Amino acid sequence: MHGEYKVPGGKLVVVDLEERDGRIAEFRLAGDFFLEPDSALEDIDAAVNGLPIESDAVAIATAVRAALPEGAQLLGFTPEAVGTAVRRALVTAPGWRDFDWEIVHERPVSPRMNLALDEVLTTRVGDGLRRPTLRLWEWNESAVVIGSFQSYRNEVDPEGAARHGYDVVRRISGGGAMMMGANSIVTYSLYVPASLVAGMTFADSYAFLDEWVLQALRSLGIEATYQPLNDIASPQGKIGGAAQKRLANGGVLHHATLSYDMDGQVMTEVLRIGREKLSDKGTVSAAKRVDPLRRQTGLPREAIIERFIDTFARLYGAVPGTISDDEYADAEALVESKFATQPWLHRVP
């Protein structure tokens, strides 16, 4: 069995192993990481050999950490990365290049329609009716998008939203509220089969699915990093955040919103951002937490999107794709039955 895991911002971890009588055997670790002393590689191999094949990534990481000699240095990888690679080997998880990818960047639609397309296209991928897809959003009005489990009245000031022309909508994924001003953010969605993130924890999968965008941002001169659980940041502040939804049919939605331009005063008048939300962020100002891409790059929003598309295509061999008429029709029906309804918007009052 063979498994690989690219540590976000780090190195490639490769494992080969066999299964014998329900236990891991002939385990070998390799990769382009750095490890001192050399003998620690044999210690890691010995720690994993003999473990039950049911061992999860945490248990494998614990065994690896316990076996490391005092003072061992792991650069570019961690015991947790070894655990993830082993789990991916045991479930024969595919890599990015094992799929045929499409990139979709089409006409602007309403925020509700964008949310409905997320559900429809994720379902299609889970059902095997669409290739895995990266979609860049375009929308024709400003909106606040709240997470699936957020309280409407706790997160949004309705009067402030109306005054500044922001509609309020609810998405199917968890996470926090995002202000999506027209032409002031960059939002993308990935629709992938669950097999791509098999063997990973939820936390690992977030960073794994956004590694490509970190590479795109770095190519623009931004020192982008991933901050657990779901923030994309630079030394100057937060750039954006990601969210996920996993469907029962095996489709996974992973989407992220990055700030291109922002009016901090408007944000404080539209969103209710309390002190508790900021308590672990090292700042008392929500506006100062965010460092938009326009300020960092000086580039038009369209140029940043083009770099995202070029990077994804280069890394994974993706080709241009489209949304079919019947997919649009399904999404329009879902807007009417779900995303435009008061029961959905106020499912958490």
Rounded Cα distance between 80 and 10, Å, is 13
Cβ-based neighbours of 137, under 8 Å, separated by 6 or more: 114, 187, 188, 189
Region 40-50 average pLDDT: 98
Rounded Cα distance between 149 and 184, Å, is 25
Rounded Cα distance between 192 and 59, Å, is 27
Q: How confident is the model over 203-231, as pLDDT tens digits?
A: 889 999 999 999 999 999 999 999 988 99
Angle between helices 211-219 and 301-316 (to 10 degrees): 130
- Which three-class secondary structure state does DSSP give residue 15? strand
Maximum alpha-carbon separation in the chain: 67
- For 341, phi then psi, to 5°, come to -95, 150
Percent of the chain with pLDDT over 70: 95
Region 112-119 average pLDDT: 98
> Does the pLDDT value for residue 177 go beyond 50?
yes
Region 130-158 average pLDDT: 96
Identify the band that residue 9 occupies on the pLDDT scale cut at 50, 70 and 90.
confident
> Does the pLDDT value for residue 288 go beyond 90?
no
> Does the pLDDT value for residue 33 go beyond 90?
yes
Rounded Cα distance between 209 and 205, Å, is 6
- In this prediction, residue 283 carries a pLDDT of 39
> Does the pLDDT value for residue 14 go beyond 80?
yes
CATH number for the region 2-90 comes to 3.30.390.50
- In this prediction, residue 201 carries a pLDDT of 85
- In this prediction, residue 22 carries a pLDDT of 96
Amino acid at site 251: G
Domain boundaries, the chain: 2-90, 96-345
Rounded Cα distance between 29 and 3, Å, is 10
What's the pTM value of the predicted model, to 2 decimals? Answer: 0.89
Residue among 246, 261, 250, 252 nearest 294 (CA): 261
Identify the band that residue 67 occupies on the pLDDT scale cut at 50, 70 and 90.
very high
Instruction: Judge if 2-90 and 96-345 fold alike in CATH terms.
Output: no
| CATH superfamily to which 96-345 belongs | Bira Bifunctional Protein; Domain 2 (3.30.930.10)
Identify the band that residue 30 occupies on the pLDDT scale cut at 50, 70 and 90.
very high
> Does the pLDDT value for residue 273 go beyond 90?
no
- In this prediction, residue 8 carries a pLDDT of 86
Region 321-338 average pLDDT: 98
Region 69-80 average pLDDT: 97
Residue 116: burial class (beta carbons within 10 Å; 0-12, 13-18, 19+): buried
Identify the band that residue 275 occupies on the pLDDT scale cut at 50, 70 and 90.
very low
Mean pLDDT for the chain overall? 93
Find the range with the poorest average confidence among 149-153, 221-225, 261-265.
261-265
> Does the pLDDT value for residue 285 go beyond 50?
no
Is the Cβ–Cβ distance between 287 and 278 less than 8 Å?
no
Identify the band that residue 282 occupies on the pLDDT scale cut at 50, 70 and 90.
very low
